C-alpha cells in the first residue's frame, strides 16, 4: 500500500519513498520542446502547483543526471518520450516567492535579498568556470553579497546568462507562488513598492530573456496585468477556465479511486465526491487533493481542518465584506442556488472590491466558487462541494450576527 503524501511537495521524495503519486507527467511533454516561452499556471492553493514544479525540476535539471530514469520509471512521460535527450539536460533556477514578509517594504526587501542570495550560493561552482571571466564572477559575487538595488532586480536574468555561458545550454526557470508577495501586501504600506519590484524582477527574468529554454510560473491569481504579463510576447497564461492542462492540477476521479484503493476503502468514493469534488478547470471535473488526502489521513472523517483552513479565513471574510451586496447571494449559493455572471480570470486582489463580478471572479480563481460556461460568454457559478458550502454557511451566519441579515 502506498503512503499518504499529504503536505509533501518534493517530487523526488514522493516517488522515491513509496508515496501515492497522481501521474501528471504529461505536463513535461507539453513544455519540453519550448523555445523561450513563459507558462503561467494559476490555480487555487494546495492543488499541486508546487509538486508540479518540483517534477519539472527533477526531469530537466542537469544536476540530477542519471537519476531521473528511476524517478519517472513507469510514469506516463516515459511512454510519451522514450530515451529523451531533454531529460536532465538543462541548468534550472527554482525559486519560491512565498513567505516574504508581512507586506512592508523593509521586511520584503530584507527577505527577498536573503532568498536570492541563498539561491545564488547554489551556483558558486561558477567561480571555477573557465568559460566565465572575472567580470562575470564578480557579477555572481554581487548577487550573493547584495543589499538590494539593481543587482537584485536583474538577478535571475544575470544568473541565467552565467549558467548558459558555463553549461552551453539554455536555462529553465521555475517560479512558485509568483503572486504571493503582492497579494500579501494588498492594503499595506509596501504594496506599491512590492508591485513595482515584482514587475522589474519577473519582467527581466521572463520577458524576452535570450537565455531561457522555458519558464513555468505558478500562483493563485495573476499579478496586475498592466504591470506584468500583458507586455510579454512569450507569456502563455493558463487559468482555471482554460481547457489546456485542465487536469494537470488537482485529482481526477481516477486519482481519487486510486487513493481510496490504497487506503483499502474504495466504498468511500461517493462520500468523497459529495464533500470534495465539484471543481471545474477547463473541461475537467476536479477534486480538491488536499481535502481528499486529509480525509483519508484523518480516518475518513469529513469536515474538520480541511482545505478551507489551510489559508487565512480573514482573507475570505475581507473579500466578502468588501462587497456587502454579495453576501445574500453567497448564502443562497451555499444552499444550492446558482447565479450567472461574467468571470474575468485576470482580476487581481486590488480589483476585487470594486464590484460584485470582480469579487466572484476572485473567488473562482481562489477555489471558493465553481464556474461553468453558459454558452453566451457568461458563467454559471455555484459552490463546488459540501466542504465549501458548509464553510460559507458558517461564516455568513456569524457575519450576520443577531440581525439575521447577511447584508448588514
What's the pLDDT score for residue 57?
A: 99
For strand 92-96 and strand 171-176, is the pairing parallel, antiparallel, or unpaired? parallel
pLDDT at site 240:
97
Task: Output phi, psi for 100, to 5 deg.
Answer: -115, 45
Contacts of 188 (CB under 8 A, 6+ apart): 102, 103, 104
List Cα–Cα distances, 303 to 248, 299, 310, in angstroms.
Answer: 26, 12, 13
pLDDT of res. 176: 98
Q: Which three cell numbers stand for residue 162?
A: 552565467
Nearest CA-CA partner of 34 in 270, 225, 261, 235? 235
Q: What is the distance between the alpha carbons of residues 399 and 76, in angstroms, rounded to a whole number?
A: 48
Identify which of 280, 368, 382, 279 has the alpha carbon closest to the alpha carbon of residue 319: 368
Burial class (CB in 10 A: 0-12, 13-18, 19+), 369: buried
Sites in the chain below the pLDDT cut of 50: 225, 402-403, 408
Task: State the pLDDT at residue 224.
Answer: 63
As a whole number of angstroms, the distance between CA 99 and CA 111 comes to: 9
pLDDT at 72: 98
pLDDT at 387: 95
Q: What is the pLDDT of residue 398?
A: 85
Burial 391-400 (b: 16+ CB within 10 A, else e): bbbebbeebb
Residue located via cell numbers 517530487: 11
Which residues 6+ apart lie within 8 Å of 135 measured at CB? none
Distance separating alpha carbons of residues 71 and 75, to the nearest angstrom: 9
Between CA 272 and CA 280 the distance in angstroms is 16
CA dist., res. 169 & res. 249, Å (int): 29
3-state secondary structure of 281: strand
pLDDT in tens, 18-39: 999 999 999 999 999 999 999 9
pLDDT recorded at residue 381: 98
Amino acid at each position: 500500500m502506498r503512503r499518504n503524501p499529504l503536505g509533501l511537495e518534493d517530487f523526488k521524495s514522493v516517488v522515491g519513498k513509496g508515496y501515492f503519486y497522481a501521474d501528471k507527467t504529461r505536463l513535461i511533454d507539453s513544455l519540453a520542446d519550448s523555445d523561450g516561452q513563459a507558462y503561467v499556471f494559476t490555480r487555487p492553493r494546495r492543488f499541486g502547483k508546487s509538486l508540479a514544479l518540483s517534477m519539472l525540476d527533477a526531469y530537466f535539471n542537469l544536476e540530477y543526471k542519471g537519476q531521473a530514469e528511476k524517478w519517472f520509471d513507469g510514469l506516463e512521460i516515459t511512454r510519451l518520450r522514450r530515451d529523451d535527450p531533454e531529460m536532465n539536460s538543462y541548468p534550472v533556477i527554482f525559486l519560491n516567492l512565498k513567505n516574504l514578509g508581512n507586506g512592508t517594504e523593509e521586511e520584503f526587501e530584507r527577505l527577498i535579498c536573503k532568498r536570492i542570495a541563498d539561491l545564488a550560493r547554489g551556483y558558486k561552482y561558477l567561480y571555477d568556470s573557465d568559460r566565465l571571466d572575472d567580470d562575470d564572477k564578480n557579477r555572481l559575487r554581487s548577487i550573493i553579497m547584495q543589499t538590494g538595488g539593481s543587482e537584485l532586480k536583474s538577478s535571475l536574468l544575470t544568473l541565467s546568462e552565467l549558467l548558459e555561458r558555463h553549461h552551453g545550454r539554455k536555462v529553465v526557470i521555475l517560479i512558485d507562488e509568483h503572486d504571493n508577495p503582492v497579494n500579501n501586501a494588498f492594503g499595506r504600506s509596501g504594496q506599491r513598492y512590492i508591485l513595482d519590484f515584482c514587475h522589474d524582477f519577473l519582467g527581466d527574468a521572463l520577458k524576452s530573456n535570450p537565455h531561457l529554454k522555458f519558464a513555468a510560473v505558478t500562483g493563485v491569481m495573476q499579478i496586475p496585468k498592466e504591470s506584468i504579463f500583458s507586455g510579454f510576447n512569450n507569456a502563455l497564461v493558463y487559468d482555471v477556465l482554460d481547457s489546456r492542462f485542465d487536469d494537470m492540477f488537482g485529482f481526477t476521479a481516477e486519482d481519487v479511486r486510486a487513493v481510496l484503493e490504497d487506503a483499502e476503502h474504495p466504498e468511500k468514493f461517493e462520500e468523497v465526491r459529495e464533500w470534495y469534488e465539484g471543481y471545474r478547470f477547463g473541461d475537467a471535473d476536479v477534486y480538491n487533493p488536499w481535502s481528499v488526502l486529509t480525509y483519508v489521513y484523518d480516518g475518513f472523517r469529513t469536515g474538520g481542518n480541511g482545505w478551507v483552513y489551510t489559508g487565512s479565513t480573514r482573507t475570505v471574510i475581507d473579500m466578502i465584506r468588501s462587497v456587502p451586496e454579495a453576501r445574500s447571494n453567497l448564502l443562497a449559493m451555499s444552499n444550492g442556488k446558482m447565479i450567472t455572471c461574467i468571470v474575468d480570470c485576470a482580476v487581481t486582489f486590488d480589483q476585487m472590491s470594486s464590484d460584485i463580478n470582480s469579487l466572484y471572479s476572485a473567488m473562482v480563481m481562489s477555489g471558493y466558487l465553481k464556474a461553468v460556461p453558459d454558452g453566451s460568454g457568461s458563467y454559471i457559478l455555484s459552490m463546488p462541494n459540501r466542504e465549501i458550502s458548509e464553510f460559507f454557511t458558517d461564516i455568513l451566519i456569524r457575519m450576520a450576527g443577531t440581525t439575521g441579515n447577511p447584508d448588514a
